Structure 1
Amino acid sequence: MNKQITHAETFTSLHEKGNPVILYNIWDAGSATAVRDAGAKALATGSAPVAMAQGFSDGQKIPLDMALDNAGRIVDAVDIPVTMDFEGAYAEKPLGILANVQRALETGVVGFNFEDQIVGTKDLYDIETQSARVAAMREGCDAAGIPAFINARTDIFLEAHPDTHDEVMLEDAMARAQAYADAGASGFFAPGLRDERLIARLCDSTELPVNIIALPGTPDTPKLAELGVARISYGPVPYREMLVWLQDKARSAFQS
């Protein structure tokens, strides 16, 4: 069997409610091998660290060709599944998404984060529009013959202060999870959500594996597992912590 297909199937199987796969986000081949050697079962890029490591800001500012070249280098450097934070797939319309997903799969990645935020704004696509976009991504994966994991992300919670997260937002998120599942999503990503009760309700409401990001204030791994989370990622946190370490070491060297 094609190795990429095998990795895609393995990656999907790692998503278990109550036994979450840990994705300590990486940004290049070097960080990928380091995290692999630490015991990772799979790897995930983060769009922000990938961009910042190359001198760009987040939000599809890094050119698509450069982002895909970076993804390919990561895949070539490790022999475990790699999923790519593809932001908005560098396209608004379904045909552009389909084409870009097929290009991305040529790098060897086996999954995508795909967000419903309109890139460059704080607005979200409406459910119908984003569902069509998710369906286009699934069509691109199917056309390539790769059962890639589409982690459909909603920015409902990320764009609001945690103290304002409420039932209305949760109902919107649950509706999006169902619509995205119907369109072909493999998982549902709710970055920014950290309220235990809301996380539990979200996990109970959908058959999709739920992804929570380990930002400050988020429940720890055992608690997230207890709540039914199937995937825990770290986003830009590892890169930012690495920068703090690097600056501290450099400062000490300059002052010695």
Structure 2
Amino acid sequence: MDWEYIDLQAKQWVKEAGDKIRESFSKTLNIQTKSNPNDLVTNIDKEIEQFFINKIRKTFENHRILGEEGFGDEVNNLDGVVWIIDPIDGTMNFIHQQRNFAISLGVYENGIGKIGLIYDVAHGELYHAINGKGAFMNDSPLPKLNKVAVKESIIALNATWVMENHRIDHNLLIPLVREARGTRSYGTAALEMVFVATGRVDAYISMRLSPWDVAAGAVIIEELGGIVTNLRGKKLDFLSKDSLLVAKPGLHQSIINEYLNEGKW
């Protein structure tokens, strides 16, 4: 498999898609709700996913596609090559802010992440990795991640998870928040994973994400020595929704052992 060629094509398409999104900033969006009033999708999300699908099917006809908006294939296994796409991760931010969102594109072969691309469209920053070849922001290599203690860490975490909720006992995470140096929330899993990759934050926790939210970021994080699991410390299967803990080495195990090992979710 010529992963360099696949990566080259994917980067070109991601940048073209970014241009299309930027052009939409001055246009009126058609906004619809999905599972609830805060789960939004726009005509741009749908158009960008269809753009990727058309490009992939014309160029790599044997590859399958798992996309957030449902225009791809019915994917119930990761046999062969599967593209996992979120055309706009952080749609609410896209609508309200026109920043803090990203295109997220992961390419997997037989369940192994081979290519990860996350494009911060508003800032023109493309984070990318090919398995075994390092990770980059545009043309600049990203350094390997170093260990950090909880008390020195900044953790990306939605405030929902330290309030009473139906997914996790919120009391589990209060000691972690209290012990950490600080917390942040950006509203886009792809960029929050990128921020771990670049050291802007040290860990990211979420209770329920889909494969297209995390597939690209996992390739980038693991290429830098970071750890990607669910909150039980188990590997993700990239076919179903799951919790997520992304962290620097050492910190990941500390969070699992000291704060989450008695968790109920």
TM-score for both structures, normalised by structure 2: 0.28
TM-score for both structures, normalised by structure 1: 0.29
Determine which structure has greater relative contact order: mean sequence separation of CA pairs < 8 Å that are 6+ residues apart, divided by chain length. Answer: 1
Q: Name the structure where strand makes up a greater proportion of residues.
A: 2
Q: Name the structure where helix makes up a greater proportion of residues.
A: 1
